[in-house]
Amino acid sequence: MTGYSTTEVAKILGLSPAQVRGYVRAGFLSPERGDDGRMRFSFPDLVFLRTARGLMSARVPPRRIRRALERLREQLPDDRPLNAVRIEMEGSRIVVEDGAERWQPESGQAVFDFDSQDLTREVAAPLAHRSFEEARGRREAGESLAAEEWFEWGCELEPSDPQQARDAYERALELDPKHASAHVNLGRLLHESGDPRAAEPHYRAALELRPDDATASFNLGVALEDTGKLPEALLEYQKAVRLEPDNADAHFNAASLAERLGRDAEAVRHLAAYRKLTRRS
């Protein structure tokens, strides 16, 4: 595959050809040119334009999107393309995430989730922590606790204290190593903490227990991709879409990996499925 034409990109992402060309004229993208002189877009270009489409879907005015992207281009190093960072809406804010750094490109200010975290601590955290401490006390007193109880406490603790939530899931698995949901949730928390290698065995354990778990399969695919196991990751994304054909993210990730692995027909097929799903939504 030598890339995607302007018309193909527009159809895949639900943009107009004029919008696609506008981002190129503004310098946000630098697609290669084919022998006929026409623009050919890479898959990273599609990822970036998909983000722009998401901002427009969130009713962000085009002028504001353009201004934010212009500021972001100034803030990134010359060798760091716009499509290498994550851009999303949080409430009314456009937020950029690049590794551990998060900021608002329009102002350049760093973003901290104090508002949502404080609300969680004020409302949900005290109850969850109290229940967790009560559980610890009952356990130390010799009372037998069920794995499901530890799992439920883990779910309650996740928004306010991911570390204690991990402890709860680990205790659930000590009592019941076949608790598939605890494996999935523990794997996700490990993954989100930056350790996809530690998450992988938990996703695999969940799939051994629940082979038809599309979420576990998709999460495993992301973990494998993050650790550089691309062919294995593609297999998991493909399994995820077999189990859940409407999973647009799995189709998109599968298309990306298929193209990187030189499996063009698979990339086209998954992109076509992604296009149909996003048109429907």
pLDDT digits (tens, 9 = 90+) for 47-99: 778 877 777 777 777 778 878 888 888 888 877 777 678 888 877 788 888 87
Burial of 188 by CB count in 10 Å (0-12 exposed, 13-18 middle, 19+ buried)? buried
155 and 200 share one domain: no
Answer whether residue 167 is part of any domain. yes
Answer whether residue 117 is part of any domain. yes
66 and 118 share one domain: no
Q: DSSP secondary structure string, 24-70?
A: HHTTS---EE-TTS-EEB-HHHHHHHHHHHHHHHTT--HHHHHHHHH
Answer whether residue 146 is part of any domain. yes
35 and 54 share one domain: yes
26 and 95 share one domain: yes
Answer whether residue 87 is part of any domain. yes
Answer whether residue 85 is part of any domain. yes
Q: What is the pLDDT of residues 150-200, one digit of tens each?
A: 888 788 777 667 888 898 899 899 999 999 999 999 999 998 888 999 999
Q: What is the CATH number of the domain that holds 50?
A: 1.10.1660
Range of the domain at 61: 6-111
Q: Please give the tally of structural domains in the chain.
A: 3
169 and 87 share one domain: no
Answer whether residue 248 is part of any domain. yes
Answer whether residue 64 is part of any domain. yes
pTM of the model: 0.61
119 and 107 share one domain: no
CA 94 to chain centre: 17
